[in-house]
Structures are given as C-alpha cells and as structure tokens.
C-alpha cells in the first residue's frame, strides 16, 4: 500500500479562481500549496532590484536557475513566499513585478529552469500547484488534473466587483473586453497555450461559491485516496 499523496495540478483561464481555490484545497486536504506564478514573479522582483542590466534573457535565466525561493504556511494557514531569509509575499503583488513577470514567462530558458524546480517540488507528491500549463506541461502525469473554467461574463463580473470594492471607476464593459482579450492571448500564445489536458477534470465554476468549488475538489482528492 502506498503512502504517497497526490500531485494536484490546477489550471484555467485568468479569473477562474484557481489561486484562491488551490490554496484552500491544499489547506483542507493537508497538502502543500505551491504557486508557479510566484516563481516567475520572484524572478521579476530580483531582476527589478538588480536594475535594467538584469533584464537580458541570459541574466534572467541565471536568476531563475539560482532562485533561492521557498514556501511556508503560517499559523493562520496563509502561504508565504521567501527569497532566502526575506518574506517577499507582499512585494510579489506589486504591479511592476506582475508586468515584468508576464514578459519573462515567455523566455524559454527561464521557463525551463522554473519548470524543473516545479517538478522537483512534486517529485514526492503531496502538493497542490496552480498556474499556466501545470496540467499539460509541468505535470502531465499528475494524479489529479483540474481545469477550472468559467464564462468570460462570470469572470469579468468577479473582477469588476473587486475593482469597485477597491474604488476603481472602470466599467464592466471594459473589464469584460479585457478578459476576452486575455483569453485570446492565452489560448493563442506560441509557448504553452492554455487548454485542458485530455484527462483533466473540467469544472465550470459559473454560479458557484469558492467554498462550493473547494468542496467539489476535496471530494475528488478523497475519492483518489480511497483504496480501489
């Protein structure tokens, strides 16, 4: 009888809730959450701190290869991201970091180093990882693959409400147009286009609360754990 815990690979379009869902699922299922996006943002943060000279593909690849990143979970169940001895969880959310990360994620050498790191995290199982191409490229043999989906209208509504709560005047029509443009870009990109793996479980989250989605994924994990 194996004691291995599953690798749960979660992908989906922007705004499908995969990051929030993945963190909650990991906490409730007793697994470790790993954010692939945080790795790209950590490379971006390091490069920004080093200055413009660090923006060459060669230097970015070197940063990715030596990235001293690790993840911990605090007493409140919040996943923290560290670079060496520095907690960079909040710094990784900066707008400039996110913008640079989106660019460097397209650099093959950077991706190669970070994909290798991601696979190393999953070598012994027991993780939930979300992000682009996690269930198609990074973990094509993951025990559990999930593709979270939702209509563009649903995802735009969620984002629009978040923006309103933050005081942004952006209209729903603008947000919806942005979501659709991002979808086209993600599905048509040359490197790792967005799509569900053939053996992934596709879950449409339209009209579902975060708790309802997490509960469904918990059922999937527990079904996998049940001896067959």
Entry pTM = 0.86
Residue 2 pLDDT class (50, 70, 90 cuts): low
- pLDDT of 52: 77
The end-to-end CA distance of the chain, in Å, is 11
Do 7-17+127-219 and 32-125 have matching folds?
Answer: yes
**Per-residue pLDDT reduced to its tens digit, 157-193:** 988 998 888 888 889 999 999 889 888 888 887 777 8
- pLDDT of 1: 47
Domain residue ranges of the chain, discontinuous segments joined by +: 7-17+127-219, 32-125
Per the listing, tokens 């923290």 go with: 80
The larger pLDDT score, comparing residue 77 to residue 130, is at 130
What CATH number was assigned to the domain covering residues 7-17+127-219? 3.40.50.300
**Per-residue pLDDT reduced to its tens digit, 121-147:** 999 999 999 987 899 999 999 999 999
Pick the CATH number of 32-125 from 3.40.50.300, 3.20.20.450, 3.40.50.1260, 3.10.105.10: 3.40.50.300
Q: How far is CA 57 from CA 38, 106, 168, 193, in A?
A: 19, 10, 35, 21
Please give the average per-residue pLDDT across 12-29, as a whole number: 90
The DSSP secondary structure of 10-41, one letter per residue, reads EE-STTS-HHHHHHHHHHHHT-EEEEHHHHHH
The larger pLDDT score, comparing residue 120 to residue 103, is at 120
Structure tokens at 223: 């079904």
């Amino acid at each position: 009888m194996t004691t291995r815990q599953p690798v749960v690979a979660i992908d989906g379009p922007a705004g499908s809730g995969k990051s929030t869902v993945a963190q909650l699922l990991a906490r409730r299922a007793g697994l470790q959450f790993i954010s692939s996006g945080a790795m790209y943002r950590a490379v971006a943060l390091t490069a920004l701190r080093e200055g413009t000279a660090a923006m060459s593909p060669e230097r970015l690849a070197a940063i990715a290869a030596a990235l001293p990143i690790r993840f911990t979970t605090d007493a409140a169940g919040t996943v923290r991201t560290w670079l060496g001895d520095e907690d960079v969880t909040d710094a990784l959310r900066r707008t400039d970091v996110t913008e640079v990360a989106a660019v460097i994620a397209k650099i093959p050498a950077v991706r190669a180093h970070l994909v290798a790191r991601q696979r190393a995290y999953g070598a012994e199982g027991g993780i939930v990882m979300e992000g682009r191409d996690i269930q198609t490229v990074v973990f094509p043999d993951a025990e559990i693959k999930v593709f979270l989906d939702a209509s563009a209208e649903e995802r735009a509504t969620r984002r629009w409400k978040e923006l309103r709560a933050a005081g942004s005047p952006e209209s729903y029509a603008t947000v919806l147009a942005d979501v659709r443009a991002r979808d086209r870009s993600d599905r048509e990109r040359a490197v790792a286009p967005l799509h569900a793996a053939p053996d992934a479980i596709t879950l449409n989250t339209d009209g579902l609360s975060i708790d309802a989605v997490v509960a469904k994924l918990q059922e999937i994990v527990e079904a996998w754990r049940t001896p067959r």
